Amino acid sequence: MSSPHVPQATPTDGAPQSDEAGRDVRVVPPRGGASHARTWSRGFLAKLVLLAVVDALGVYVAMAALAQESYGILWVMVALLVVTNWVYFSRRAVPLKYFLPGLAFLLVYQVFVVGYTGYVAFTNYGDGHNSTKAHAVDALLIQNEQRLEDSATYPLAVVEGGGGLGFAVLDGDEVRVGTADEPLADAPDAVVVDGDITEVPGYEVLSRAQVLERQTEVTALRVPYSDEADAGSVRTQDARNGYLYRSTLVYDEAADTMTDTETGTVYEPNRDGQFEAADGSTLAVGWRVPVGFDNFTTAFGDPRYSTPFFKVLVWTVVFALLSVALTFFVGLFFAVVLNDDRIRFRRVLRSFLILPYAFPAFMSYLLWRGMLNKDYGFVNTVLLGGADLNWLSDPWLAKIAILGVQVWVGFPYMFLICTGALQSIPGDLVEAAKIDGAGRLRLWRSITLPLVLVATAPLLISSFAFNFNNFNIIEMITEGNPRFPDASVPVGSTDILITMVYSVSGLDGGAAKNYGLASALSIVIFVIVATISVISFKRTRSLEEIN
């Protein structure tokens, strides 16, 4: 390729110059003078084709959404399509032409996640409130339909007659048949072959395949054993054998209440998403309801959580800060050392240094966990010649160990960024300083470090934010241990906020699950880290402007 040539005589689509950057002056009228937006240049054609493809796909998705009655997706898709076409055919909104692709993905896949978590934070989603009310009612009815203790096993066949599906059961040697509305009655002319009911007059015996096609109907079918309600109903789970069941709980849809048929107790839905009787007792399965700020009140009002919270917060901040600082300085140091053109094999050396980065991080954490074992780990037995350092269960050593692993895992990234930043420091600046008599240290302190810092500041901030929520490193190396001896929830001295959320909200199986509380705490964490980041981001930008 020759040097980047500007296509001089190919006026094409696009907006007038003044759109590109508001402050640009319209110095020269466009050459060729034509209204280039409508010129059929290659670029314009490419755009047309691509947009056609996008539109086709978009319309396809929208149609599919319509067919599936997924109106949320339908409207989002239609909106995206309209916006896309407007953006790419309008002469306005030039910046949007460049944002839209990434923005669309961001909105669908990230903003939605944040928003949904925000919604969950205001509900009581968790154990006992795991699903919708309809599911809860179903589950309660299923759980409280009990097999009669003296019920025999009735081999059965599923049949279909004028009254819909029914069962033909083998009661002793007799075949009896019935449907949901007609209790079992004798069917003397039925044919039984080897214990299987093959023919029932007036009914069609369904084949296995037919039964499987109508599984939900079959499992929902209850055929009364006799006219007496106490005798129970036949039901089946596998369409081979039936048993007598009686339900102890009845749902009254109109009144929205559950009634216990044995005691007569009436349960009404309460505000917490459970059925509650007058005496305050509740049925086991509840459903999800909005609870307002309850989760936030629990997070800060319940001393079990609020007491360790600040201790953990301090370590979280320290951990995130030190993680960035240590990896940065180690990375920068190696970058400076190797930043000399006279060094041979520089490429090879650099490639070796990024090895830790090439390993999936979770692997490294597991590996280090083993290497840090007090009595058998590589670190104590080989590196430190048989030292007896309790890396994982001493509060201070565990913190040091975590940071040590973090440095190993994280320095190559910093090494990469710093190498880049160093390369971009203008040579003449360094030369000028040297001529002014600046020593190596001086040069480093007054020129190299500030310039590298400024260049990498946004990355350092986002690295801070990442480590603030670095769940994996803590969970895979120490799981937050050693535990605070005085805390009343299982929280330990290496726990950071996000791992604390993980354990107190029961997501690790150590307590009853509480997604609502976990979401609320996630939001709190998000607010903290976002605030810190935005402030430091603003400050570095002012620093940048001063420079």
Residues numbered 165-224 forming contacts with another protein, rule: CB under 8 A: 208-209, 211-213, 215-216, 218-219
Structure tokens given for 124: 């009581």
Q: Fill in the DSSP letter of residue 227.
A: S
Provide the residue type at 225 as one letter: Y
Residues of span 49-78 touching another protein by CB under 8 A: 50-51, 53-55, 57-58, 60-61, 64-65, 68, 70, 72-73, 77
Q: Of 419, 474, 454, which is closest to residue 542 (Cα–Cα)?
A: 454
Contacts of 547 (CB under 8 A, 6+ apart): 450, 454
**Cβ-based nearer residue to another protein, 203 or 411:** 411
**Cβ-based nearer residue to another protein, 329 or 408:** 408
Quote the CA–CA distance of 139 and 18 in Å, as a whole number: 65
Quote the CA–CA distance of 414 and 265 in Å, as a whole number: 67
Per-residue x/- mask for another protein, residues 472 to 511, rule CB under 8 A? Answer: ------xx-xxx-x--xxx-x-----x--xxx--xxxxxx
Q: Enumerate the H helices of 255-302 as residue ranges.
A: 294-301
Structure tokens given for 8: 């001089």
**Cβ-based nearer residue to another protein, 70 or 261:** 70
Among 45, 229, 250, 284, binds another protein (CB under 8 A): 284
Residues of span 436-455 touching another protein by CB under 8 A: 451, 454-455
Q: Residue 289, interface with another protein (CB under 8 A)?
A: no
Q: Residue 17, interface with another protein (CB under 8 A)?
A: yes
**Cβ-based nearer residue to another protein, 198 or 462:** 462
For residue 339, CA distances in Å to 57, 150, 430 come to 49, 86, 14
Q: Residue 88, interface with another protein (CB under 8 A)?
A: yes
For residue 244, CA distances in Å to 171, 176, 195, 216, 474 come to 12, 14, 19, 19, 53
Structural contact between residues 125 and 288, judged by C-beta atoms closer than 8 angstroms: yes
Of the candidate spans 160-168, 253-261, 307-315, 416-424, the one that interacts with another protein by CB under 8 A turns out to be 416-424
**Cβ-based nearer residue to another protein, 189 or 300:** 300
Angle at 533 between CA 106 and CA 400, to 5 degrees: 110
Quote the CA–CA distance of 137 and 148 in Å, as a whole number: 22
Angle at 38 between CA 32 and CA 43, to 5 degrees: 85
Per-residue x/- mask for another protein, residues 296 to 325, rule CB under 8 A? Answer: ------x-x---------------------
Q: Of 444, 442, 446, which is closest to residue 335 (Cα–Cα)?
A: 444
Residues of span 143-162 touching another protein by CB under 8 A: 143, 146-147, 153
Q: Sort residue 428 into left (φ over 0), alpha (ψ -120 to 50) or beta.
A: alpha
Residues of span 509-528 touching another protein by CB under 8 A: 509-513, 515, 518-519, 522, 525-526
Quote the CA–CA distance of 341 and 218 in Å, as a whole number: 79
Q: Fill in the DSSP letter of residue 262.
A: T
Structure tokens given for 290: 């909005």
Provide the residue type at 46 as one letter: A
Residues of span 356-395 touching another protein by CB under 8 A: 356-364, 366-371, 373-378, 381-382, 390, 392-395
Of the candidate spans 139-147, 197-205, 250-258, 262-270, the one that interacts with another protein by CB under 8 A turns out to be 139-147
Main-chain phi, psi angles of 438, to 5 degrees: -75, 135
Quick one: how far is CA 40 from the chain centroid? 45
**Cβ-based nearer residue to another protein, 227 or 545:** 545
Residue 188 C-beta: closest distance to another protein, Å: 27
Q: Which residues pair with 250 in a beta bridge?
A: 259
Residue 366 C-beta: closest distance to another protein, Å: 6
Q: Of 408, 421, 414, which is closest to residue 460 (Cα–Cα)?
A: 414
Residue 320 C-beta: closest distance to another protein, Å: 11
**Cβ-based nearer residue to another protein, 141 or 231:** 141
Of the candidate spans 180-188, 238-246, 255-263, 316-324, the one that interacts with another protein by CB under 8 A turns out to be 238-246
Q: Residue 90, interface with another protein (CB under 8 A)?
A: no
Of the candidate spans 160-168, 197-205, 223-231, 529-537, the one that interacts with another protein by CB under 8 A turns out to be 529-537
Q: Residue 113, interface with another protein (CB under 8 A)?
A: yes
Residue 125 C-beta: closest distance to another protein, Å: 8
Size of the site for another protein (CB under 8 A): 219
Residue 364 C-beta: closest distance to another protein, Å: 7
**Cβ-based nearer residue to another protein, 325 or 455:** 455
